[in-house]
Amino acid sequence: MAVDEKLLVTLITEHIPDATVRIEDLRGDGDHYAAYVVSAAFAGKSRVQQHKMVNEALKGVLGGQLHALAIQTAVPE
Of 27, 11, 7, the C-alpha closest to 19 is 11
Structural domains present in the chain: 5-74 (3.30.300.90)
The pLDDT of residue 65 is 67
Q: What is the pLDDT of residues 24-75, one digit of tens each?
A: 999 887 778 899 999 999 999 999 999 999 999 988 777 666 778 899 999 9
* pTM score, whole prediction: 0.89
Q: State how far the Cα of 64 lies from the Cα of 2, in Å rounded to an integer.
A: 11
Beta bridge pairs of residue 28: none
The pLDDT of residue 28 is 82
Range of lowest pLDDT (4-8, 20-24, 33-37): 4-8
